[in-house]
Structure 1
Amino acid sequence: MPQKNGAEQSDASGSMPKSQRTKVIKSSDDSEKKNLAKKIKDTEICVPIVYGNIAFWLGKKASEYQSHKWTVYVRGSTNEDLGVVVKRAVFQLHSSFNNPTRIIDSPPFELSESGWGEFEIAITLHFHSDVSDKPLHLFHHLKLYPEDESGPLSTKKPVIVESYDEVVISEPSEALFARLQHHPAVIVPRLPAGFTLPPVPIEDLENRNRGGTKDHNPLNQWFSKFSEADELLRLAAAREQVIRVYFRNLQLILII
């Protein structure tokens, strides 16, 4: 635990979730064995992920250099276990922390610490070899204080800032598709009628049926729920607001 977090507080990070879509690809120098894996053409597997942080003010226990306890994480959009695709998560903290590079080799992919300052955290996701050989780099600005800093701090209501992303696996192998097709953290398309997939190894079935962190993580009660429908509704509301403002301005111009 650090004695001091030297990063200055910043209000640059908002509480609105960001959405994006990231494709993960195989490297060009795959081994002959991987090249022989039969691909499913014109097919994409989508893995919705959410990354961010939750921070609790320590109240009477707070000190000059230890005002908050916080957790930074990468999770499934509905809090499902991402271990089916993610092998390892690496969190790069501010240099003032002891051992600032933290490696998490199993789900839940999260890291808890305490401090007083806000700073950017680099998050690197390493995937299983049949998903992608290239890591995914994410960046999250740790947020400890609410947007409305004029009000009193609360020890009961945490500050949560999250971003939504979709990891897209293009043209997966038949074996990978078979392994992921029934996992709750993954969105897979329907295959043509009569298409036969290879059997899933027993160890993969056991890992899949083991479930994830959805019902066991104590932070789940605070997490937002993300889904494709929610994103579409949010985009539709934003579009409607833009149209409303446009016609209001147009009416003002006509009146003038």
Structure 2
Amino acid sequence: MSDGDNEVVAEIDIGHEATWLERPDDSGLTHRWTIYLRGKEGGKIEKYIKSVTFKLHETFPKPHRVLETVPFAITENGYAGFLVPIEIVFRNGLTTELKYELQLLTGRDCNAKRTG
């Protein structure tokens, strides 16, 4: 990670881990999942990132989750995947938004990650 006068370069991993529940819970939810934004190879992104907002599907309670400390991760139960906009606010005032496709696979665990 490095920063210049008007630029921030932070290598991050964004992904999710999902565990298939043996039986759906009382609400019919089939997976326990965590979506995260981490520093690549354990990098200390909190030096550069002020906050991360995960914009979950509107059916979740408090769908806009603002995190200002590491770990930048949300854990929930669900039954279907959806597109998650993620807003990153850098300590220098710049912001960016990424979109991440949280996918849940029927009948099995699933993990995915992309590096940027």
TM-score for both structures, normalised by structure 1: 0.41
| Offset from partner CA, 1:83-103 (integer Å, 9 cap, x none) | 011110000000111110001
How far apart are 1:105 and its partner, in Å? 0.7
Q: Secondary structure at the match of 2:10?
A: strand
Correspondence for 1:49: 12
Residue identity opposite 2:94 in structure 1: K
| Offset from partner CA, 1:194-224 (integer Å, 9 cap, x none) | xxxxxxxxxxxxxxxxxxxxxxxxxxxxxxx
Correspondence for 2:56: 93
Give, in whole Å, the separation in 1 of the partners of 2:84 and 2:13: 15
* 1:1-256 matches, cutoff 5 A: 26=6, 46-60=9-23, 62-63=24-25, 65-129=28-92, 133-145=93-105, 153-154=107-108, 158-165=109-116
Give, in whole Å, the separation in 2 of the partners of 1:99 and 1:112: 13
Q: Percent identical across equivalent pairs? A: 26
Larger Rg: 1
Give, in whole Å, the separation in 2 of the partners of 1:121 and 1:99: 14
How far apart are 1:25 and its partner, in Å? 7.8
Q: Secondary structure at the match of 1:83?
A: helix
Residue identity opposite 1:161 in structure 2: A
Q: Secondary structure at the match of 1:94?
A: coil
Unaligned 5+ runs, structure 2: none
Q: Secondary structure at the match of 2:29?
A: coil
TM-score for both structures, normalised by structure 2: 0.85
Give, in whole Å, the separation in 1 of the partners of 2:9 and 2:75: 28
Give, in whole Å, the separation in 1 of the partners of 2:73 and 2:81: 17
Change (3 A) 1:25 1:70: farther
Unaligned 5+ runs, structure 1: 1-23, 27-43, 166-256
Residue identity opposite 1:144 in structure 2: L
Residue identity opposite 1:47 in structure 2: A
How far apart are 1:143 and its partner, in Å? 1.1
Give, in whole Å, the separation in 1 of the partners of 2:85 and 2:66: 12
Between structures 1 and 2, the one with greater helix share: 1
Residue identity opposite 2:96 in structure 1: L
Between structures 1 and 2, the one with greater strand share: 2
Question: How many pairs align?
Answer: 113
Residue identity opposite 2:71 in structure 1: P
